Amino acid sequence: MKKWIAAAVVVVLVIAAAVWYKAGSAPAVAETPETATTPAPTATPEPTPAATPTATPEPPPTATPANTEETEEVVDKDSPEYIKKEYHQEGKTLTPALEADGCYVDEDGIIRNPDGSPVTFDDPTDLPEGFTYEAGPNQETLENSQKAQEGAEKFASGQDEELNAVIDQLIEEGYYN
């Protein structure tokens, strides 16, 4: 019985880690020497003795795209543009069910709950006409939910050989009895 409980805990942790990683929230992984990418140093030409004493030194080389760092753009998740893009709300109208719930469309065209928060749709059948289903920024997507369910079913049936090997190794090392 303890083995099954331990196995279930491991499955949940593995699935949660996979979903977390897939969503982009996983911590950064350090680069290994094999995967590290460093730009090749650019050679600066040595000044040659000029024939005239008034020779000017060459300016230092300018930065090229190969040796500049990219920075992440800061996104305001409360901005109307972000909400309309992420929730696919541009040009949409309210359904009678949304109106009955007290939802409204603000001056920026965003469908909002009575408390002012943007409406999110967890069930594709709740979508107004013209919407496409895609989870909001803080929600798990339907695809990831289905993958997690398939992984759990695969483990429960004992078909996930890689996970079974990890569990067996943990048992051998004494983590589970």
DSSP state for residue 8 in the 8-state scheme: H
pLDDT of residue 119: 77
Residues 6+ apart with CB under 8 A from 106: 80, 112
| Position with higher pLDDT, 83 vs 36 | 83
- pLDDT tens-place string over residues 40-49: 555 555 555 5
Quick one: pLDDT band at residue 97, thresholds 50, 70, 90? confident
| Position with higher pLDDT, 142 vs 117 | 117
Span 13-18, mean pLDDT? Answer: 70
DSSP H or E run through 13: helix 2-22
- pLDDT tens-place string over residues 22-67: 655 444 444 444 545 555 555 555 555 555 555 566 666 665 555 5
| Position with higher pLDDT, 31 vs 113 | 113
Q: What is the CA radius of gyration of the chain?
A: 28
pLDDT of residue 35: 47
- pLDDT tens-place string over residues 130-172: 555 555 555 555 566 777 778 788 777 777 788 788 888 888 8
Contacts of the segment 38-41: beta carbons below 8 A, 24+ positions apart:
39/66, 39/67
Q: Say how far apart CA 57 and CA 122 lie, in whole Å.
A: 65
